[in-house]
Amino acid sequence: MPVWNLVLSGYPGSGKSVLARRLVADNSNFVRLSVDDIRLMFFGSTEPSADEEFVYNSLTSLRDLALRNGYSSIMDCTAPTNTTREFLLNTKEENAIRLLVQMVVEKKELERRNQDRGVAGAVEAWNRVWQPPATNMPVMKFRNDDKSSFETSYYLLTELLRSRVNPYRRRFLGNIFPRI
């Protein structure tokens, strides 16, 4: 299996962590790297710290170490801006295939999930900073409105991960993952 550098990007409540944990459970050569876990480990909270540069540099150092040792990395973070996404996708490890996995969930469902988690208003807060993915990065849209859409998207993603198809081949992605 090729070595992948996946960045999971999406709103709070979109299911990024569920996807990351499942990929790691199903694939022995995948590691999950979470910005929230790094913050919690270093600063005792998942809230953004006074030194986010340190947090993200630590995260990318761990990513590069994993890739260098033949593991595929899954960056589990919201990554609302293209600058952050590019920073997380770009690595000096040449053997890694890069892919941004954008979590797509209906707004009503996101609001319901966040209400259940006690973080009502998270969607509006993230709408202020959210940027659509840039056209220069390979993107897979991962639908997660319900269990059925999650399972369908998961199947498509795992088929891509097992293949040797480079995600920059627009002809391939255009047929498998049409713009939503």
CA–CA dist 151, 56 (Å, integer):
30
16-26 and 147-162 helices, crossing angle to 10°: 50
CA–CA dist 69, 59 (Å, integer):
16
CA–CA dist 155, 86 (Å, integer):
26
| CATH number for the domain that contains residue 146 | 3.40.50.300
CA–CA dist 84, 61 (Å, integer):
15
Give the pLDDT confidence of 61-84 residue by residue, as tens digits: 999 999 999 999 999 988 899 999
Lowest-pLDDT choice from 5-9, 116-120, 160-164, 166-170 = 166-170
169: containing domain: 3-176
Whole-structure pTM value: 0.86
Burial readout 79-88 (b: 16 or more C-beta within 10 A, e: otherwise): bbebebbbbb
| CA 77, 71, 149, 170 torsion-angle sign | positive
Fill in the amino acid letter for 21.
R
35-43 and 52-68 helices, crossing angle to 10°: 120
Token representation of residue 70: 């033949």
Closest by CA to 91, choosing from 3, 155, 164, 14, is: 3
Using 50, 70 and 90 to split pLDDT, how confident is the model at 38?
Answer: very high
Give the pLDDT confidence of 127-180 residue by residue, as tens digits: 788 899 998 888 899 999 999 999 999 998 998 888 766 555 554 555 455 554
Report the domain count for the chain.
1
